[in-house]
Amino acid sequence: MFRKILLAVDGSDHSEIAADYAAGMAKAFGATVFLVHAYPHTSDLLGYEDFEKLVARRKAAGQAILNKVRKRLAPKDMTILEDLLEGPEAEAILAAAEAQQVDLVVMGTRGLGAIEGMVFGSVSRKVAHHARCPVMLTR
């Protein structure tokens, strides 16, 4: 039923839990995991003298988030593809889901922001609203 599962991570404990669910689903269905993180769009850095350096730093921080989750999933012995995306987050995740034709998106209900009182984060809400495939919001 699920051949390719997009796992979206933001470095939060919530997305670590999502990673475990994605791994469980991938194992159960023999699916490939497509691991993605979207770093913030770099347009706000335009005009800074050290633009290139700031962009590189942003990408490195994003890559570190991917690496951490990849390490967590390594012992689970499954095929993992990954992509470092440029934000805005929800749009980037939705575009990647379309481009890779995934059958399932797995992500946390909340993330790094976690302002109390909100059930959904803005990224999970938008992705769940617009995705064309099932979305699993973990908690």
**Interface with ligand ATP (CB under 6 A):** 8-10, 12, 14-15, 18, 36-38, 89, 93, 107-108, 110-115, 121-124
Q: Rounded to an integer, what distance in angstroms lies between the CA atom of residue 66 and that of residue 18? A: 13
Query: Among candidates 139, 124, 134, which has minimal Cα distance to 38?
Result: 124
3-state secondary structure of 5: strand
| Position with the least CB separation from ligand ATP | 121
Nearer to ligand ATP, 10 or 131 (CB): 10
Name the minimum Å distance from CB 76 to Mg ion. Answer: 25
Tokens at 125, concatenated: 């809400």
When CB distances are held under 5 to 8 angstroms depending on the partner's kind, the choice from Mg ion, ligand ATP, none that residue 23 binds is none
When CB distances are held under 5 to 8 angstroms depending on the partner's kind, the choice from Mg ion, ligand ATP, none that residue 15 binds is ligand ATP
Separate counts of helices (H) and strands (E) for the chain: 4, 5
Q: Does 134 bind Mg ion (CB under 5 A)?
A: no
Q: Rounded to an integer, what distance in angstroms lies between the CA atom of residue 129 and that of residue 21? A: 20
Binders of Mg ion in range 106-125 (CB under 5 A): 111-113, 121
When CB distances are held under 5 to 8 angstroms depending on the partner's kind, the choice from Mg ion, ligand ATP, none that residue 89 binds is ligand ATP
Query: Please, what is the Cα angle at 7 between 107 and 29, to 5 degrees?
Result: 110
